[in-house]
Chains A and B, each alone.
Chain A
């Protein structure tokens, strides 16, 4: 089976006024295996969202090529091979929760009864069955985002593209959503490309964390995390030493190798002894 995503020497240059140009992405190579969870992390302007938009065929690369399941990104978009969620839930305010989840199915000609059934199934999956007939303005931000995620799963895609979907949520909601996402991925077996600002979030969710740096956007390092299979990742993992070690590894990759910039309480708690992520493979989660 071909890789879920193959980015081959892709770059993105935005033309600016007066003949100037902005290099959003320098030449990028990246592959995502089927079922793999890959996070893109980096400071603002490192091109992580741009890379996601290229994979989604919302923008086209200036050079290089992008393949999704062995097809061009454009063909994959037309064939609806991926589901997508953004930082803003982007629900249609005039449609009910059910109507919003049904939207992609409706656009692609799925019959009414089948749509209803699938929406009910997805609502149960994200724990919002009681809110099927509500309108988005009657839901909290976290609930709206869950609806958006349910919508992205509507057509059972083999690939999920997520652009900071939890970025606007408070920390508690965010951790709960992360737990849910891990569970959803385990249940659906979809590959995920996940853009985030948050190091713990990237580490908790991912098989691999792609650390990017800005001006021009490029991949600085790919940190393998692999904190156990999705099925047994839970809140306990957030307390595990392997988690902290991976967090500091990603942080070091982000800030360069000097330890001087490493800060934050996670690193203070027992992570120092476990430098080097490779040693973490197979760490037991409590």
Chain B
């Protein structure tokens, strides 16, 4: 199961290396995997600190966006008017290229603050968490609804014992989708200015100084960061859905 993709990855790396060496491809077109690995080792401190900055922005965005998404979803599920009012707004938000807001937010919060990036990540996270959680809250099975009525349960009791726990698997699915978005948004937002400590900024400046292998090394760091976010939320999702029927 694990062996096959690992072998494939190694084969691709070897072919890549052979191609770069064999065809004498210039580094600005494509650096070799060994050159990237070499830069990755040498710049590991910078990459690690950049990862921490970008990762922290993504994490703050993920938590903030998730909390807002869940709260809005609960209110939308409870109050139909609120749902009708927010639906067009959320739909509009979903089609806005959110990172495009970065320059505006940098002006708002000052170029030295990470706040803009965190807000961008939060916005990107908000939508999938909101949409999925709301769907989960609406998925109460008729038999459970009948049961709660037969028990003469108050609407809060029904919400607490059936609706909220039933929505949790959906919430975590939304969170898993959102986790990659959080990292991508926090990273791309750095391309548009702001403080220079993150991975995204490092990628652009390494490329600007023609150090392409180093740029790729930062890209590699970003990939690892994205994977960590994804795998952690995937594990959370698996845990939350362990008793749900498939």
Asked if residues A77 and B245 are in contact (CB atoms below 8 Å), the reply is no
Which residues of the partner chain B approach A77 to less than 8 Å between Cβ atoms?
Answer: 149-150, 152
Asked if residues A137 and B150 are in contact (CB atoms below 8 Å), the reply is no
Question: Shortest Cβ distance from B139 into chain A, in angstroms?
Answer: 12
A54 at the interface (CB under 8 A from B): no
Which residues of the partner chain B approach A103 to less than 8 Å between Cβ atoms?
Answer: 151, 161
Q: Contacts A80-B151, A90-B141, A107-B153 given: A58-B146 contact, CB under 8 Å?
A: yes
Asked if residues B243 and A88 are in contact (CB atoms below 8 Å), the reply is no
Which residues of the partner chain A approach B143 to less than 8 Å between Cβ atoms?
Answer: 86, 88, 90
Question: Shortest Cβ distance from A132 into chain B, in angstroms?
Answer: 15
Q: Contacts A93-B245, A94-B165 given: A78-B152 contact, CB under 8 Å?
A: yes
Which residues of the partner chain B approach A90 to less than 8 Å between Cβ atoms?
Answer: 141, 143-144, 146-147
Asked if residues B152 and A92 are in contact (CB atoms below 8 Å), the reply is no
CA distance A258 to B19 in the complex (A): 87
A225 at the interface (CB under 8 A from B): no
- Our pick among A86, A106, A135 for the contact of B146 (Cβ within 8 Å) is A86
B157 at the interface (CB under 8 A from A): yes
A189 at the interface (CB under 8 A from B): no
Where chain B touches its partner, the secondary structure class is helix
- Our pick among A56, A104, A137 for the contact of B243 (Cβ within 8 Å) is A137
CA distance A78 to B151 in the complex (A): 7
Contact string against B for A residues 101-130, beta-carbon threshold 8 Å, 1 for contact and 0 otherwise: 001101110000000000000000000000
Asked if residues A84 and B150 are in contact (CB atoms below 8 Å), the reply is yes
A217 at the interface (CB under 8 A from B): no
Query: CB-nearest residue of chain B relative to A87?
Result: B143
B244 at the interface (CB under 8 A from A): yes
Number of chain B residues close to chain A: CB under 8 A: 19
Asked if residues B245 and A92 are in contact (CB atoms below 8 Å), the reply is no
Query: CB-nearest residue of chain A relative to B144?
Result: A90
- Our pick among B141, B151, B166, B243 for the contact of A107 (Cβ within 8 Å) is B151
Contact string against B for A residues 251-264, beta-carbon threshold 8 Å, 1 for contact and 0 otherwise: 00000000000000
The A-contacting residues of B in range 149-186, CB under 8 angstroms, are 149-153, 157, 161-162, 165-166, 168
The A-contacting residues of B in range 193-246, CB under 8 angstroms, are 243-245
- Our pick among A86, A88, A104, A135 for the contact of B151 (Cβ within 8 Å) is A104
CA distance A84 to B153 in the complex (A): 14
Question: Shortest Cβ distance from A66 into chain B, in angstroms?
Answer: 15
Which residues of the partner chain A approach B147 to less than 8 Å between Cβ atoms?
Answer: 84, 86, 90
Additional A-B contacts beyond A84-B147, A93-B245 (4; CB < 8 A): A56-B146, A58-B150, A106-B161, A107-B157
Residues of A within 8 A of B (CB): 53, 56-58, 77-78, 80, 82, 84, 86, 88, 90, 92-94, 103-104, 106-108, 135-137
Residues of B within 8 A of A (CB): 141, 143-144, 146-147, 149-153, 157, 161-162, 165-166, 168, 243-245
Q: List, sorted by A's number, 7 A–B pairs whose CB atoms are closer than 8 Å.
A: A77-B150, A80-B151, A88-B141, A90-B144, A107-B151, A107-B157, A137-B244
